[in-house]
């Protein structure tokens, strides 16, 4: 499986009459996107805005972020199972608008049980609140009106499809143009015996509006399976969960999965990348947690892994999926390292996770959700006219824990947070 990722670096974004990519500037045509999106009768209106790094602007009610990508050659299409049949992707050539991002926003308001409604998720484009990884991308921000009478799940699916369509449409502007660089991604057999490393990506599925999709299908009820990293780069994993903002895994982060990317780059040099195991986490039943973790460790063993890197998805009892996976891998001789966020209180000294196992002797923190971030007043707010959960007025200067900042604690490791000792 050989994939060329052709990168077109986007250094500016603007609004115009026709979609275009000129000298690193992505021109977005709202009318064109409107026609594209409103072909789906579930959506009745779409607003298109752009947000640039440094703009005194705040995006609220973030649902998902998608990187514009389109297939230039090869079987299938990006986001298989959503925009095309679920044929295996990851071969051929894919155009990437690197530095650009499609941000979908919305609010599933009519939900009767607030526990399942979506939670606030904020991207500040200007310092000092620019803590989200998407504070530094050139963003195309979409907000929608949905047709009357639709339930939350239907609204969610319509908005997800719209964001994916827009991302593909924008990337098609790069067709037949010379890219800034091309990266070839493949897993050739290693001539030497190198440590064989598997990447285990936990994918959250907790119920309605908390889902992750592989080839268009929710991972709820699924057993772990194996993917080639190239499939991630072609959008095989799509996000659909709207709870704790800073711990969400946007589709963008799966497309740009830092662990898979780094392991692939080091493949054949100092390690042998065995592939990606995707495992549903946050199962409700203790026996399901055991089944999922045990199957994952077994697959890692069948892939002849010497070591595993596991990234958690979400919080709460997801820690036990993480710890059980770690324990089952270690028990069959696979050295395991974990990527996990912390809830360590505003001072950072509280107990940061609600459980652990002795085998978890290598953990990398992706930051403390409770760390407080100062956010300046902004001139414009996109995505909504309020902040959910009584966090304040949306345009004001705010002082919030990082938990409300979209994907800022990404347990896939794509965050901007760093630690400092003094």
Partner 1 sequence: MVVCSAIPAIPMSVGVSRTFQGKAVGYLLGDPGLPLAEEKALRARLTARALATLSADVSEPTLFSLE
The separation between the first and the last C-alpha atoms of the chain, rounded to the nearest angstrom, is 47
Q: Choose the stretch contacting partner 1; rule: CB under 8 A; options: 7-15, 26-34, 54-62, 348-356.
A: 348-356
Q: Which is nearer to partner 1, 95 or 343 (CB)?
A: 343
DSSP 199-260: EEEEEE--BTTEEEEETTEE-TTPPPEEE-HHHHHTT-EEEEE-SSGGG---HHHHHT-HHH
Q: How far apart are CA 277 and CA 225, in angstroms?
A: 6
Q: Which is nearer to partner 1, 73 or 351 (CB)?
A: 351
Q: Contact 172/96 with Cβ under 8 angstroms? A: no
Bridging pattern class, strands 100-105 and 138-146: parallel
Among residues 320, 371, 406, 412, the one that binds partner 1 under rule CB under 8 A: 320
Q: Judged by CB under 8 A, does residue 112 bind partner 1?
A: no
The tokens describing 342, both together, are: 């912390």
Q: Contact 384/105 with Cβ under 8 angstroms? A: yes
Q: Which is nearer to partner 1, 85 or 355 (CB)?
A: 355
Among residues 113, 192, 270, 285, the one that binds partner 1 under rule CB under 8 A: 285
Residues 224-283 that bind partner 1 (CB under 8 A): none
Q: Determine the length of the chain.
A: 422
| Distance of closest approach, residue 343 Cβ to partner 1, in angstroms | 14
Q: Judged by CB under 8 A, does residue 284 bind partner 1?
A: yes
Beta bridge partners of 340: 365
Q: Judged by CB under 8 A, does residue 151 bind partner 1?
A: no
Q: How far apart are CA 250 and CA 239, in angstroms?
A: 6
| Distance of closest approach, residue 283 Cβ to partner 1, in angstroms | 8
Q: Contact 322/362 with Cβ under 8 angstroms? A: no
3-state secondary structure of 163: helix
Q: Judged by CB under 8 A, does residue 210 bind partner 1?
A: no
| Distance of closest approach, residue 320 Cβ to partner 1, in angstroms | 5
Q: Give me the sheet containing 181-185, strands edge to edge.
A: 69-73, 92-98, 3-9, 181-185
Q: Which is nearer to partner 1, 317 or 335 (CB)?
A: 317
Q: How far apart are CA 275 and CA 62, in angstroms?
A: 31
Among residues 54, 151, 348, 355, the one that binds partner 1 under rule CB under 8 A: 355
Q: Choose the stretch contacting partner 1; rule: CB under 8 A; options: 170-178, 315-323, 341-349, 401-409.
A: 315-323
Sign of the dihedral through C-alpha 167, 170, 174, 175: positive
- Name the strand (E) or helix (H) holding 299: helix 286-302
Residue spans of alpha helices (H) in 53-211: 152-171
Residues 115-134 that bind partner 1 (CB under 8 A): none
| Distance of closest approach, residue 286 Cβ to partner 1, in angstroms | 6
Q: Judged by CB under 8 A, does residue 317 bind partner 1?
A: yes
Q: Choose the stretch contacting partner 1; rule: CB under 8 A; options: 52-60, 70-78, 210-218, 317-325.
A: 317-325
> Residue 5: what are its φ and ψ, rounded to 5°?
-95, 110
The tokens describing 50, both together, are: 């752009």
| Distance of closest approach, residue 317 Cβ to partner 1, in angstroms | 6
Q: Choose the stretch contacting partner 1; rule: CB under 8 A; options: 61-69, 86-94, 148-156, 316-324.
A: 316-324
The site for partner 1, by CB under 8 A, has a size of: 10
Q: Judged by CB under 8 A, does residue 348 bind partner 1?
A: no
Q: Judged by CB under 8 A, does residue 354 bind partner 1?
A: yes
Q: Which is nearer to partner 1, 142 or 244 (CB)?
A: 244
Among residues 75, 151, 221, 286, the one that binds partner 1 under rule CB under 8 A: 286
Q: Judged by CB under 8 A, does residue 291 bind partner 1?
A: no
| Distance of closest approach, residue 208 Cβ to partner 1, in angstroms | 12
Q: Judged by CB under 8 A, does residue 195 bind partner 1?
A: no
Give the number of other CB atoms < 10 A from CB of residue 187: 18
Report helix angle 30-38 to 152-171, nearest 10: 130
Q: Which is nearer to partner 1, 115 or 422 (CB)?
A: 115
Q: How far apart are CA 339 and CA 301, in angstroms?
A: 20
Q: Judged by CB under 8 A, does residue 221 bind partner 1?
A: no
Contacts of 238 (CB under 8 A, 6+ apart): 79, 82, 160, 164, 212, 213, 216, 251, 254
| Distance of closest approach, residue 212 Cβ to partner 1, in angstroms | 18
Q: Choose the stretch contacting partner 1; rule: CB under 8 A; options: 39-47, 179-187, 241-249, 284-292.
A: 284-292
Q: How far is CA 298 from the centre of its chain?
A: 26
Binding site for partner 1 (CB under 8 A): 284-286, 289, 317, 320, 323, 354-356
């Amino acid at each position: 499986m050989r994939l060329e990722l052709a990168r077109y670096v986007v250094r500016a974004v603007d609004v115009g009459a026709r979609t275009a990519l000129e000298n690193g500037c992505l021109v977005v045509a709202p009318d064109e996107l409107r026609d594209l999106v409103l072909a789906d009768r579930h959506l009745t209106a779409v607003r298109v805005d752009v947000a640039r790094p440094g703009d005194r602007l705040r995006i609220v009610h973030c649902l998902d972020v998608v990187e514009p990508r389109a297939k230039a050659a090869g079987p299938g299409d990006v986001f298989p199972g959503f925009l095309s049949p679920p044929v295996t992707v990851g071969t051929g050539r894919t155009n990437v608008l690197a530095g650009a991002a499609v941000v979908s926003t919305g609010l599933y308001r009519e939900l009767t049980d607030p526990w399942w409604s979506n939670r606030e998720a904020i991207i500040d484009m200007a310092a000092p609140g620019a803590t989200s990884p998407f504070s530094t991308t050139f963003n195309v921000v979409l907000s929608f009106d949905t047709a009357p009478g639709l339930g939350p799940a239907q609204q969610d699916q319509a908005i997800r499809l719209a964001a994916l369509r827009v991302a593909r449409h924008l990337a098609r502007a790069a067709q037949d143009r010379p890219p800034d660089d091309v990266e070839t991604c493949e897993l050739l057999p290693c001539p030497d015996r190198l440590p064989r490393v598997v990447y285990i990506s936990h994918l959250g599925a907790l119920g309605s509006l908390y889902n992750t999709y592989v080839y268009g299908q929710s991972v709820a009820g699924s057993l772990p399976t194996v993917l080639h990293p190239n499939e991630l780069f072609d959008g095989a994993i799509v996000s659909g969960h709207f709870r704790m903002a800073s711990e969400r895994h946007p589709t963008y982060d799966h497309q740009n999965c830092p662990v898979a990317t780094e392991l692939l780059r080091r493949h054949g040099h100092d390690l042998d990348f065995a592939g990606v195991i995707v495992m549903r986490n946050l199962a409700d039943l203790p026996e399901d947690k055991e089944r999922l973790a045990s199957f994952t460790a077994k697959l890692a063993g069948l892939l002849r892994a010497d070591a595993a890197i596991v990234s958690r998805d979400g919080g709460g009892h997801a820690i036990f999926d993480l710890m059980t996976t770690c324990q089952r891998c270690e028990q069959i001789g696979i050295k395991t390292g974990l990527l996990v966020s912390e809830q360590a209180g505003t001072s950072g000294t509280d107990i940061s996770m609600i459980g652990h196992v002795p085998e978890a002797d290598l953990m990398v923190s992706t930051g403390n959700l409770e760390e407080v971030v100062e956010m300046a007043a902004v001139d414009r707010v996109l995505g909504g006219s309020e902040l959910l959960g009584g966090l304040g007025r949306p345009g004001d200067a705010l002082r919030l824990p990082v938990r409300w900042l979209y994907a800022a604690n990404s347990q896939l490791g794509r965050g901007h947070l760093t630690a400092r000792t003094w």
